[in-house]
Amino acid sequence: MKQIKRTIINDALKRTDIGAEINIKGWVRTKRGNKNVSFIAINDGSTIKNMQVVADLSKFDEETLKAITTGSCVSVNGLLAQSIGQGQNVEIQATELEILGTADATYPLQKKGHTLEYLREIAHLRPRTNTFGAIFRIRHNMAIAIHTFFHQKGFYYFHTPLITASDCEGAGQMFQVTTMDLNKLDHTEEGKIDYTNDFFGKPTSLTVSGQLEGELAATSLGAIYTFGPTFRAENSNTPRHLAEFWMVEPEVAFNDINDNMDLAEEFIKFCVKWALDNCADDLQFLNDMFDKELISRMEGVLKDSFVRLPYTEGVRILEEAVKNGHKFEYPVYWGADLASEHERYLVENHFKKPVILTDYPKEIKAFYMKQNEDGKTVRAMDVLFPKIGEIIGGSEREADYDKLLQRIQELNIPMKDMWWYLDTRKYGSCPHSGFGLGFERLLLFVTGMQNIRDVIPFPRTPKNANF
């Protein structure tokens, strides 16, 4: 076969130099035709669009043509031609065809229209479908949007550890990390497990959040963000929770909670606009196939200012709804941790736009949040989104050493884990704020998918760690 430098299909489809000799490589989606000619649709992942290859049957041996089946991988040399078919401007008149890899009739993606549930069982192949190609291209674009946004604003990308010896948000939901032989554990005299011979010489876990280390960075570099994997062993089999997910956590010195809300709103709008500007073909496909309101919902979020509302007011609205006959599965009262159905009621039924709920009861929020004068609430903020509920959780942090220490003691958080964190308040303490955005929750919003398992390539959930 003649050596011609490969053109990716996304570029080839934009070319106008009709008659040029080009090479493409990719996977066969469909083959149809008649006695004289075959039309082969090829996709190489660079775009949702296929390249149509036209093969004159008289020019190729039967063996080669027979091996061009759905799922096989081919290299095509040919001449760029104007396409009279609908949907594309150009096609390729094949001059040479090479089969790089065959795919027989057992290839699971023979016909279209598999359910998303079935595709989860073949997660190793699902990126070859239009749907998951679109989702993972959008996922990449959102990662680029995040780095672009923060870099342009002068934030530094800071890497916090994935293995941690501190349990910052409460026990019971962390994955333990150990090299000990679980069949032969050493015990102390009191009968507890002895970690002195373990790899780190003490109990360690996978991180649930990079925030505490992020605060160390913000109180030195000024404005930072983390963007990495996070692990939570919460046994909640919901469409919004993963055991391994990616989180974006900006943290900014001298920002109060209002600055924090401004940043969160500007950030999400930037990401949503980035998707609309850079993923038009993929969004249109998802909009047409899965969710006719996807694009208009995204545009809607850009248009309005987010509602900013204290938790206490939010609960009042929800109690009013209950009084007027609205049925929730979970009870709602001042002090309750709101469920997704409550959050979505506020956003979708009441305000019809995103809501930032602030000043939550301190009992349902983490120890590091700045305490309000009322002694009951803290300067927390959750950003609530249509279809999703909570997409961001954040707060202004408690900057006062004594108040923070008191809260740590009230909650019995072991000091041996916390001394380094308290040092930020001991030496040159400053007001600061930050938040965490669940990357996959953002992806749910910008893809219109309903299940978080469908926006990450290889989901980890209770009893499921395949691939």
Kindly list the residues in this chain that would bind ligand ATP in the complex (CB under 6 A).
232, 234, 241-242, 245, 247, 390-393, 436-438, 440-441
Q: Which helix (H) or strand (E) holds 404?
A: helix 401-410
**Distance from C-alpha of 403 to C-alpha of 180, rounded to nearest angstrom:** 39
C-beta of 213 vs 390, nearer to Mn ion: 390
C-beta of 137 vs 362, nearer to Mn ion: 362
Residue 434 binding Mn ion, by CB under 5 A = no
Q: Cα 302 to the chain's mean position, in Å?
A: 19
**Distance from C-alpha of 464 to C-alpha of 456, rounded to nearest angstrom:** 14
**Distance from C-alpha of 260 to C-alpha of 43, rounded to nearest angstrom:** 43
Q: Which does 311 bind (CB under 5 to 8 A by kind): Mn ion, ligand ATP, none?
A: none
C-beta of 294 vs 388, nearer to ligand ATP: 388
Q: Where do the DSSP E strands lie in 351-428? A: 355-361, 377-385, 389-396
Q: Are 175 and 233 in contact (CB under 8 A)?
A: yes
Q: Which does 245 bind (CB under 5 to 8 A by kind): ligand ATP, Mn ion, none?
A: ligand ATP
Q: How far is the CB of 441 from ligand ATP (least distance, A)?
A: 4
**Distance from C-alpha of 454 to C-alpha of 222, rounded to nearest angstrom:** 36
Residue of 433, 444, 395, 432 whose CA lies nearest to 268 = 444
C-beta of 214 vs 393, nearer to Mn ion: 393
Q: Are 294 and 287 in contact (CB under 8 A)?
A: yes
Residue of 147, 107, 141, 148 whose CA lies nearest to 126 = 107
Give the number of other CB atoms < 10 A from CB of residue 429: 17
Question: Which distant-in-sequence residues (6+ apart) come within 8 Å of 388 by Cβ?
Answer: 240, 340, 344, 441, 444, 445
**Distance from C-alpha of 335 to C-alpha of 395, rounded to nearest angstrom:** 18
Q: Which does 71 bind (CB under 5 to 8 A by kind): ligand ATP, Mn ion, none?
A: none
Written as six digits, the tokens of 258 are 């209002």
Q: How far is the CB of 378 from Mn ion (least distance, A)?
A: 12
Q: Which does 379 bind (CB under 5 to 8 A by kind): Mn ion, ligand ATP, none?
A: none
CA distances from 31 to 1, 45, 253, 276 (A): 22, 18, 59, 32
Q: Which does 370 bind (CB under 5 to 8 A by kind): ligand ATP, Mn ion, none?
A: none
Q: How far is the CB of 393 from ligand ATP (least distance, A)?
A: 2
Q: How far is the CB of 258 from ligand ATP (least distance, A)?
A: 19
C-beta of 241 vs 297, nearer to Mn ion: 241
Q: How far is the CB of 391 from ligand ATP (least distance, A)?
A: 5
Q: How far is the CB of 243 from ligand ATP (least distance, A)?
A: 7
C-beta of 155 vs 435, nearer to ligand ATP: 435
Residue of 305, 397, 413 whose CA lies nearest to 353 = 305
Question: Which distant-in-sequence residues (6+ apart) come within 8 Å of 16 by Cβ?
Answer: 89, 90
Q: How far is the CB of 390 from ligand ATP (least distance, A)?
A: 5
C-beta of 137 vs 241, nearer to Mn ion: 241
DSSP 258: H
Written as six digits, the tokens of 386 are 């249509």
Instruction: For residue 90, list its beta bridge partners.
Output: 82
C-beta of 437 vs 449, nearer to ligand ATP: 437
Q: Which does 425 bind (CB under 5 to 8 A by kind): ligand ATP, Mn ion, none?
A: none
Q: Which does 438 bind (CB under 5 to 8 A by kind): Mn ion, ligand ATP, none?
A: ligand ATP
Torsion angle, alpha carbons of 293, 296, 302, 306, to 10: -50
Q: Which does 174 bind (CB under 5 to 8 A by kind): Mn ion, ligand ATP, none?
A: none
C-beta of 241 vs 379, nearer to ligand ATP: 241
Q: How far is the CB of 382 from Mn ion (least distance, A)?
A: 6
Question: Residues 376-405 vs Mn ion: string with x where CB under 5 A?
Answer: -----------------x------------
DSSP 427: S
Q: Which does 242 bind (CB under 5 to 8 A by kind): ligand ATP, Mn ion, none?
A: ligand ATP
Written as six digits, the tokens of 404 are 């923070």
C-beta of 134 vs 381, nearer to ligand ATP: 381
Q: Which does 213 bind (CB under 5 to 8 A by kind): ligand ATP, Mn ion, none?
A: none
The binding site for Mn ion (CB under 5 A) comprises 393
